[in-house]
Structure 1
């Protein structure tokens, strides 16, 4: 009798769960990536600091890795749903810490990418998304130069009519990461970063534009994970999308006589961005895209910038700048040829008035696929996701297809610098130009420096849901050795540059 009661109870619980779940429609989608790549993504062959010679790249030439992303949507109705999005990997084959070694038992490879709920405000056309979500500020022509990432926050969308809409955003990229080595009672003190944005999408016949603006509050400790005034003010909060002190603070690799930034009376610094992306298709098949951006980050203290002759100059941590980028394409039966270009403000050589490069939060520039992020840069990480301090021009032919299910994209681009050569004398060493590589901001290019990039991307649709993506890249390194010898350390901080290249194949199963 006891067993029968237990079975009846279990059946009742199961029936109750099934009844409750019947009102929810579960939808699953995801993507498996299997990638194999060979190449050398380091712009330096070797470099020397204080007489010590170091190899610029210690990674294996060949890498094999995999990644899985799974998204589950729980849909109650058109007005209410919830989403959870997991990422397993990147798992490098043979690496124990990522779960790719013999036995594959690592437990640290599963990550929460997104988790949010969508709901509609009753009796209105307003839609709300709350939680960790993907946020890309409005952009065209080469991706977002300010922010395109996953972030915790709230987004509210309202559509007035077919032509005018409104989007409001509050995001919190950082909070409670600060550790004070001097006063543990001040851990997590004034270390939040909050962003508030308004976007107004406007749609007309043949023209789309979205003016937007974003205001930010950045706590004076937000960019420090571990701060010690006796060592460095550049101990930073690293994120999966980059190193914020590289994209918000004034200069990479700058020398300082006391190693740290002076105190500030401001608890919070002000940040501000604005943009105007415009897409014009009035003269189809001609496509024109133009994007203009401005960014500002308030100075939060001053420091003594050390010059190569041993003297120093008082410097500001303020940073502000602008960017304009454009794309023109013409669609033909056999492909889409186009030209693109951009120009971003650069440092003027005087650290006293701060940096003139546009700050960013988590940019995702995608004009190109090696220095940029225009293809699957996942197996061998693409390094530059922002355009600050650079200018460039390029040409491409995309979506060329001569065989069914096989398409090709070829592009060539020149990257130049807009930073004054006078800034070099404030840099720590001769290879400070490469400090941004690996920090998602790209190289620091002066007006004497440059890069020439070639991309060939081939996509073959094996099945409806399975694609093979083959990418071949080569970058000619045109950094000017004579310019960078003026950095601190002189010959003691020398470097040997090299060209970069990559060949990779990725199998992508999407469902």
Structure 2
């Protein structure tokens, strides 16, 4: 989302810029998760919900080389619940940005330290990183990042350290030291030549044995790691990723995009290891001034039939990925609660899109069609469900796909500028799953699966 600065408050040696946004919308959603239930099938989702989010960002700028950014928000919450309940019995205001940024004196070295958005390189055709994304500044991590040009405007470097979590904080639970952190070190080298952008990158992580991964666990671990703990497992487990992102404009008016990444863990136990790859590519035609057609494809390694050798899918930390804002994937939709949340790892697929359709002044539309095919062994998923507590835990029907299962998704979205700072959003989507297997997900889930429909209508105000 673009920010528009409109307020400058003068103070001794300081400027304060204030920007923000608010979105209010309603969602009509039938058969979320293809069943209308929550992921483990214990609750039924309301068909109609009204949502609201607001954010404020403050930039405290001492001078052009020194500033601090603070972002506060009430994140997406539905009306009548939490903050948006009558008389507000519960208020959920949180800091989502808090970082210092400065240039080292007499150099072009930029230092950014604090709670900040960090993302691994990914071509813009797929929105953000399949491994670690910042979600347009809305998904942060505590990090220290150093950036510097190396060779004029051709080559630069971004390197940093992030602590994703420290379960016990500054003190462990007793006098015996225990690895309860998840740390990572990363670097990328953006290269910009005429008509070509290339960003090779790498990241190394160290995961403590006692770290509570919570929501990150399913993306980083294997099903075998859910089995009873074994004392032979490492106290500090290494993870590593290596990849590259490319954007090619020398074939103008065609733009070509491609990404590749491989990642793996090195657990002591083979059953706890996870390692795999993911690749995507796209071609967009920019020769029209009224729309941008594109073709998108991807493929990721899938699970085999055994749990003994761990997981064969790419490990991911904070992903946000999707081709042309497909309704099947949680990516760059203007509204939240707006996708089927398909996991792209362990799949192969393609999408066709008409983006930036503009025949009427101030109205922009997008039409996207996508198909996804499972790459995971049916036996592998069935065994994973058996050791992880069933559907909705480590794997969920319709989010992870077995070989022989497919998804089709279509979305037709519209954005109309009522004013320069106020946009009316209409997002519609349809998704259908095919071939969900009784002997994998269970008869109750597979036979309840049906088409999903969504219509979201709301306004977004930026100031």
State the TM-score, normalizing by the size of structure 2.
0.88
Q: Match of 1:498?
A: 450
Q: Kindly provide the CA deviation profile for residues 140-195 of structure 1, in whole angstroms up to 9, marking residues without a partner as x.
A: 131311001310010100012110001101011010348xxxx9527993110111
Three-state SS of the structure 1 residue aligned to 2:174 is helix
| 8 A Cα contact 2:347 2:376, kept in partner | yes
1:25 aligns to 2:10 (yes or no): no
Bigger mean CA offset, 429-438 vs 141-150: 429-438
Matched, 1:88 2:56: no
Pairs aligned (count): 442
Write the distance in 2 (CA, Å) between the matches of 1:433 and 1:445.
12
Q: Indicate the residue corresponding to 1:148 in structure 2.
A: 133
Distance 1:63 1:207, change over 3 A: same
Query: How far off its partner does 1:369 sit?
Result: 3.7
1:222-237 aligned at under 5 Å gives the runs 222=211, 224=212, 237=213
Tell whether the 8 Å contact from 1:431 to 1:484 is kept in structure 2 after alignment. Answer: no
- Give the counterpart of 2:86 among 102, 105, 114: 102
Q: Distance in 1 between matches of 2:46 and 2:425?
A: 21
SS across alignment from 1:388: coil
Alignment of 1:397-416 (within 5 A): 397-416=354-373
For residue 122 of structure 1, report the CA deviation from its aligned partner: 0.9
Structure 1's 263 and 189: CA in aligned 2 closer, same or farther, altered over 3 A? same
Contact 2:225–2:272 (CA under 8 A) maintained in structure 1? no
Inter-CA distance 214–363: structure 2 relative to 1 (3 Å threshold): same
Q: Does 1:320 align with 2:292?
A: no
SS in 1 for 2:385: coil
| CA distance in structure 1 between the partners assigned to 2:131 and 2:381 by the alignment | 25
Greater Rg over alpha carbons, structure: 1
Partner of 1:16: none
Match status 1:164 vs 2:150: no
Q: Deviations over 1:229-283 (max 9, x none)?
A: xxxxxxxx43xxxx211000113xx797xx5232235210000011110000112
**Partner secondary structure for residue 148 of structure 1:** coil
Distance 2:394 2:372 in 1: 15
| Structure 2 residue aligned with 1:294 | 262
Superposed CA RMSD in Å reads: 2.9
1:498 CA displacement:
1.9
Residue number in structure 1 paired with 2:194 = 205
Match of 2:432 in 1: 476
Match of 1:128 among 102, 107, 111: 111
Note the residue ranges of structure 1 that are not aligned, 5 or more in a row: 1-18, 48-53, 225-236, 302-314
- Change in 2 beyond 3 A, CA 1:101/1:437: farther
Q: Report the 3-state secondary structure (helix = DSSP H, G, I; strand = E; otherwise coil) of the residue aligned with 2:308.
A: helix
Measured in 2, the distance between the counterparts of 1:502 and 1:437 equals 23
Q: Is the CA contact 1:43–1:434 (under 8 Å) kept in the aligned structure 2?
A: no
Given the alignment, which residue of 63, 75, 78 partners 2:64? 78
Distance 1:335 1:495, change over 3 A: same
Structure 2, unaligned stretches of length 5 or more? 1-8, 135-139
Say if 1:201 and 1:209, in contact at 8 Å, map to a contact too.
yes
SS at match of 1:376: coil
